[in-house]
């Protein structure tokens, strides 16, 4: 684990003062150091990685200074469009330092949703002619790496990447984000929804904590997993999967258990309900105001009026967010019979039961079970 203060000080000495990105567990120590030591005007947590590249480009155009963009490698797909069509040397020649957490690095043991991305991370950078180097778990070597990256980005007027495996940027406690502001936990909210809707309801749970909690709730309740899709990757796309299911089988209630960060990442998907008649779709955003799965960094969740946005996009909604169990049960009951797709924002507190084990599943087995259920 490197010294985060020395790393950021080296960046400052090289003229890098502005940071923007999407938090990653492999970059947890770095992300939390920025939150604690860098002024808010010089650090933004973006909605998605492409958003981060756009912000960084605007910063460069205004200041002529090199910014740093951070992300997990699973977010490279979001970032590549503005990298190759905006920042590229053939377009606007924007010097960027990309700090990328290398999940699924070859030779390491990681979850299935990270393995393919990990295997192609360096190859994708090569294909796009983005110079890169692996981060070193050594302060002196890391200082040399980041000096090289900043200077080369400035010289070639384009992106240069540093990819970091597990442990290099570790450290830093999970941040505390308004943990006691709302009474319900995510797990409690999910169980209330399970108790309120018919047992044949199909659930699509977004990546992160929601998938784990839904899975182990089913285990505890001895209900099986044939009615659940666990969206373990593809952050921001759970509601689209749910929409596809709802459109294909309008006779069955489909519920998307979304998160605030996931919903924010691809909020354009909200607008699809204005074009597709899916009264059997219920979209629930479990909003804890945090990137909890990767370190607890704050999101824009508590600052955004999801209900207003959803209503404008064509959903039937409650008047505002709900925050108690009774409110949630009543709202789910009422909106389940709506004539259009429905939306509920549930304000919850941050936190995960300490005794909840890692999610070790057979993806092919689970999807086969769900597909068999959908064909009945």
Residue 55, in any domain of the structure: yes
Q: Which residues of the chain have pLDDT under 50?
A: 175-178
Q: What pLDDT does residue 291 have? A: 87
Same domain, 14 and 102: yes
Distance CA 238, CA 266 (A): 10
Same domain, 158 and 243: no
User: Cβ–Cβ contacts within 10 Å for residue 357, how many?
Assistant: 10
Q: Of 130, 164, 198, which closes a domain?
A: 164
Same domain, 142 and 95: yes
Same domain, 138 and 218: no
Distance CA 243, CA 246 (A): 5
Main-chain phi, psi angles of 36, to 5 degrees:
-85, -25
Same domain, 149 and 14: yes
Residue 241, in any domain of the structure: yes
pLDDT digits (tens, 9 = 90+) for 305-341: 999 999 999 999 989 999 999 999 999 999 998 999 9
Q: Which of 44, 104, 95, 40 is nearest to 72 (CA)?
A: 104
Same domain, 109 and 246: no
Q: What pLDDT does residue 177 have? A: 42
Same domain, 195 and 121: no
Q: What pLDDT does residue 174 have? A: 53
Q: What pLDDT does residue 178 have? A: 45
Q: What pLDDT does residue 179 have? A: 55
| Structural domains in the chain (count) | 2
pTM of the entire predicted model = 0.93
Q: What pLDDT does residue 208 have? A: 86
Q: What pLDDT does residue 353 have? A: 73
Same domain, 194 and 154: no
Q: At what angle do helices 139-156 and 4-13 cross, to 10 degrees?
A: 30
Task: Give residue 370's domain range.
Answer: 186-374
CATH number of the CATH domain containing 338: 3.40.50.970
SS3 181: coil
């Amino acid at each position: 684990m490197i010294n985060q203060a020395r790393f950021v000080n080296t960046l400052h000495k090289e003229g890098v003062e502005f940071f923007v990105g999407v938090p990653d567990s492999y970059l947890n120590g770095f992300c939390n150091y920025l939150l604690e030591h860098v002024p808010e005007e010089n650090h933004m947590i973006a909605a998605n990685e492409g958003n981060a590249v756009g912000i960084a480009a605007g910063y460069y155009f205004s200041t002529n200074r090199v910014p740093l963009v951070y992300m997990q490698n699973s977010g490279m797909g979001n970032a590549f469009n503005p990298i190759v069509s905006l920042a590229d040397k053939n377009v606007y020649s924007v010097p960027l330092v990309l700090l990328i957490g290398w999940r699924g690095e070859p030779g390491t043991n990681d979850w299935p949703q990270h393995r393919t991305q990990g295997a192609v991370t360096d190859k994708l950078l090569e294909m796009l002619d983005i110079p890169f180097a692996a981060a070193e778990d050594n302060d002196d070597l890391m200082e040399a790496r980041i000096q090289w990256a900043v200077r080369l980005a400035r010289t070639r007027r384009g992106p240069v990447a540093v990819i970091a495996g597990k442990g290099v940027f570790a450290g830093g406690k999970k941040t505390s984000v308004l943990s006691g502001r709302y009474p319900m936990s995510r797990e409690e909210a999910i169980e209330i929804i399970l108790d309120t809707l018919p047992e044949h309801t199909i659930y699509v749970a977004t990546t992160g904590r929601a998938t784990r909690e839904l899975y182990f709730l089913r285990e505890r309740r001895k209900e099986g997993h044939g009615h659940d899709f666990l969206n373990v990757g593809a952050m921001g796309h759970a509601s689209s999967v749910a929409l596809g299911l709802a459109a294909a089988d309008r006779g069955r209630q489909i519920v998307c258990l979304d998160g605030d960060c996931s919903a924010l990442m691809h909020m354009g998907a909200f607008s699809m309900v204005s074009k597709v008649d899916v009264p059997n779709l219920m979209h629930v955003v479990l909003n804890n105001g945090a990137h909890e799965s990767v370190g607890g960094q704050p999101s824009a969740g508590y600052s955004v009026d999801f209900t207003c946005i959803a209503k404008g996009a064509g959903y039937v909604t409650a008047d505002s967010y709900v925050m108690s169990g009774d409110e949630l049960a009543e709202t789910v009951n009422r909106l389940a019979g709506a004539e259009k797709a429905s939306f509920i924002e549930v304000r919850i507190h941050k936190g995960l039961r300490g005794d909840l084990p890692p999610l070790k599943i057979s993806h092919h087995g689970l999807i086969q079970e769900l597909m068999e259920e959908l064909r009945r």
